[in-house]
Amino acid sequence: MLEGKVALITGANRGLGKEISLALAKRGASIAIHYFKNRNLAESLKKQIGKNAEIYHADLMDEKEIFELVRRISAEMGEIDILINNFGPFIYKKWEEISFEEWDYIIRGNLNSAFICSKAVIPGMRRKKWGRIINIGYNRVEQIVAFPNITPYAIAKTGLLILTRTMAKTEAPYKITVNMVSPGLMEEGIKPEEFEIPMGRYCSFEDVIEAIIFLISDGANYITGTNIIVGGGWKI
Instruction: Report d(CA 150, CA 93) in Å as an integer.
Output: 6
Concatenate the DSSP letters of all residues of 172-225 into one string.
GGGTEEEEEEEE-SBTTS---SS---TTSSPBPHHHHHHHHHHHHSGGGTT--S
Orientation angle between helical segments 63-76 and 113-128, nearest 10 degrees: 30
CA 162 to chain centre: 15
Among candidate residues 110, 66, 72, 79, the one with its CA nearest the CA of residue 7: 79
List active site positions.
153
